[in-house]
Structure 1
Amino acid sequence: MIDDIGRLVGTESPSADLAAVARSAETVAGTAAPYLRTEPDLITLDGRTHLRWRLGSGPRRVLLLGHHDTVWPIGSLAGRPFTVEGGVLRGPGCFDMKAGLVMAFHAIAALGAEAVNGTTLLVTGDEELGSPSSRELIESEAAGCAVTLVLEASADGGALKTERKGVSLYEIRVDGRAAHAGLEPHRGVNAGVEAAHQILAVAALSDTDGGTTVTPTLLTAGTTTNTVPAHGRFSVDVRVRDAAEQARVDTALHGLRPVLDGATVEVTGGPNRPPLPRTASDALYRRARRLAEGLGLAPLTSAAVGGASDGNFTAGAGIPTLDGLGAVGGGAHAADEHVVVAELPRRTALLAALMSDLLAADPRTAHDSDAITTGGSTR
């Protein structure tokens, strides 16, 4: 497993570099070949390369979902090479989430071809960008399955991710009128000042007690130090626990109006990923806890997290979804990204057991205590 992870990490795959993502897809396919013993469908959408394995000829039952793109630019390996020291594996993208892909390959191989009949493994190449090209692919693959198991890395301490916030992304453009900042500033309409008014209004939409964060992020305005800014823009990152909050914030942002006479405000963007509510994962989490106990593993824990994944899409489509089944470690998107080596075989065994359990018995007719339910209906 370590060698396989090293091979994937060694093929850098920043999301925005289409050629790098295409090279990574070839590496993923080659690494998977000895374990899956079948070629994937290489699916290119808007120049981004995704991989899909439909294992066996039976009806689709279980969707394994992951991604092979990372946030790390080409050249990151030079400063943060792949290493394994003291039981800790390091390298850009190892935790988020190339180790999770390798775990899936080994879990499938351990179960054997007959046992995984009805499994789909989908590995996308643009998750870190918000899945602009792969969202429809993800939702269409999930629609034919009973459950989705997400190979994203675990939360702190190995906790499974049973709740994720929904994400909305916006850009707010402010236009004013340029003028000389020293000679006649009164003739200008200061887009920077207008942006400041709008930023305060946007930030006020947060609801800390309800778990809603509305965060202005990247900000630009103006052209030179002695010119009243004619244009400005800023980005907004929104995280919410439920769809009603997502709709509230969306309505408020698209309802922004200028404060200064002569200024204009234009809002683009909207919801990117729906929330992954606990109701979408509860039954699967109970199964996983029971199976972990049977394997003699440490008791599983769960966590609600602010970050989103492609599991938000499948949960939003009404498919029971369990996230965080990948590597145990930490430092996603950070210099200390790492994977705890000793947990790789344990978590792979859990993934295999969960797949086997779901594929062996029809989730639609399982015992009530183990039923896969969402939104009040049994799937």
Structure 2
Amino acid sequence: MALAEVIAALDGLNGQREGVTVNPAVISGGAAPNIVPDTAVLRVNARVKTHEDARWVEQALEEIRWRISSREGYDLMVHGGFNRPPKPISAANQALFDVVARCGDALGLKVAYQATGGCCEGNNLAAAGLPNVDTLGVRGGKIHSSDEFVLVDSFAERAKLSAVIMLGFAQGHFDQALMREGA
């Protein structure tokens, strides 16, 4: 029951700070339906826009941990943490995104930037000073929720967009100097 309370508390963090999403994603525990489990594990995915947001999530998680662990018979442990830095938009990243938007315009597609607080290899690349645009994949909505969806007709359009972007770079149509950090 304590884990159910943790999940509810984590879900309650959603909507408290713009751009922060917390997804209690994977639950495991117990051995048989007729035995009260002595251990349960919850894996969580949290997405943030800033380092301050990450600290806020970590502090909230520590408060939840303390609240549960202060009860007799309960011991809540937290392992891990944020393994990707936030990815703010730099001038070089904006220049690269502008290229993507122009390629979309050429195909009649409106490509709009939407921060997700995502955590992928793009975050590590940006932290190392390499501009990148990730998540060029399919369109959809309600990311990180039970109502998340994908629009099937967007598979082909996004493949075309990726091809046009790569072709434009291969043919030298874009000023790559603008896409260097510090340029």
Deviations 1:183-230 (A, max 9, x none): xxxxxxxxxx22122223322333355121112121123333333321
What is the match of residue 146 of structure 2?
none
* Partner-residue secondary structure (3-state), 1:264: coil
Retained in 2: the 8 A contact 1:325–1:347? no
* Aligned partner (choices 48, 52, 58) of residue 244 of structure 1: 52
1:322 aligns with 2:165: no
* Aligned partner (choices 107, 114, 119) of residue 304 of structure 1: 114
1:207 aligns with 2:15: yes
* Partner-residue secondary structure (3-state), 1:199: helix
Q: CA distance change for structure 1 residues 265 and 302 in 2, over 3 Å: closer, same or farther?
A: same
Select the structure with the greater relative contact order (CA < 8 A; seq sep ≥ 6).
Answer: 1
Over alpha carbons, which structure has the higher Rg? 1
Structure 2 counterparts to residues 22-37 of structure 1, below 5 A: none
Retained in 1: the 8 A contact 2:25–2:43? yes
Q: CA distance change for structure 1 residues 266 and 246 in 2, over 3 Å: closer, same or farther?
A: same
Structure 2 counterparts to residues 330-349 of structure 1, below 5 A: 338-340=155-157, 343=161, 345-349=163-167
CA distance in 2, matches of 1:216, 1:292: 37
* Partner-residue secondary structure (3-state), 2:78: strand
Q: CA distance change for structure 1 residues 357 and 242 in 2, over 3 Å: closer, same or farther?
A: same
CA distance in 2, matches of 1:261, 1:197: 15
Retained in 2: the 8 A contact 1:203–1:215? yes
Retained in 1: the 8 A contact 2:24–2:44? yes
Q: CA deviation at 1:348?
A: 2.8
* Partner-residue secondary structure (3-state), 2:15: coil
Which range moved further: 343-352 or 264-273?
343-352
Q: CA distance change for structure 1 residues 353 and 290 in 2, over 3 Å: closer, same or farther?
A: farther
Q: Which structure's residues are more often strand, by fraction?
A: 1
Q: CA deviation at 1:356?
A: 6.0
Retained in 2: the 8 A contact 1:315–1:321? yes
Retained in 2: the 8 A contact 1:283–1:372? no
What is the match of residue 2 of structure 2?
194
What is the TM-score of this pair, normalised by structure 2?
Answer: 0.69
Retained in 2: the 8 A contact 1:291–1:353? no
What is the match of residue 170 of structure 2?
352
CA distance in 1, matches of 2:78, 2:87: 26
What is the TM-score of this pair, normalised by structure 1?
Answer: 0.37
Q: CA distance change for structure 1 residues 231 and 352 in 2, over 3 Å: closer, same or farther?
A: same
What is the match of residue 96 of structure 2?
284
CA distance in 1, matches of 2:27, 2:162: 41
CA-atom RMSD, angstroms? Answer: 3.7
Q: Report how many aligned residue pairs link the two structures.
A: 168
* Partner-residue secondary structure (3-state), 1:196: helix
CA distance in 1, matches of 2:39, 2:135: 45
Deviations 1:140-161 (A, max 9, x none): xxxxxxxxxxxxxxxxxxxxxx
Q: CA distance change for structure 1 residues 215 and 289 in 2, over 3 Å: closer, same or farther?
A: closer
Structure 2 counterparts to residues 1-379 of structure 1, below 5 A: 193-255=1-63, 256-257=65-66, 258-279=69-90, 281-286=93-98, 288=99, 292=103, 298=108, 301-306=111-116, 307-317=118-128, 319-324=129-134, 329=138, 338-340=155-157, 343=161, 345-353=163-171, 357-358=175-176, 363=177, 370=178, 372-373=180-181, 378-379=182-183
Which range moved further: 242-251 or 215-224?
215-224
* Partner-residue secondary structure (3-state), 2:4: helix
Aligned letter for 2:133? D
Retained in 2: the 8 A contact 1:291–1:350? no
CA distance in 2, matches of 1:351, 1:228: 59
Q: CA distance change for structure 1 residues 270 and 263 in 2, over 3 Å: closer, same or farther?
A: same
Deviations 1:335-363 (A, max 9, x none): x58334655653332232568632xxxx3
CA distance in 2, matches of 1:241, 1:283: 20
* Partner-residue secondary structure (3-state), 1:248: helix
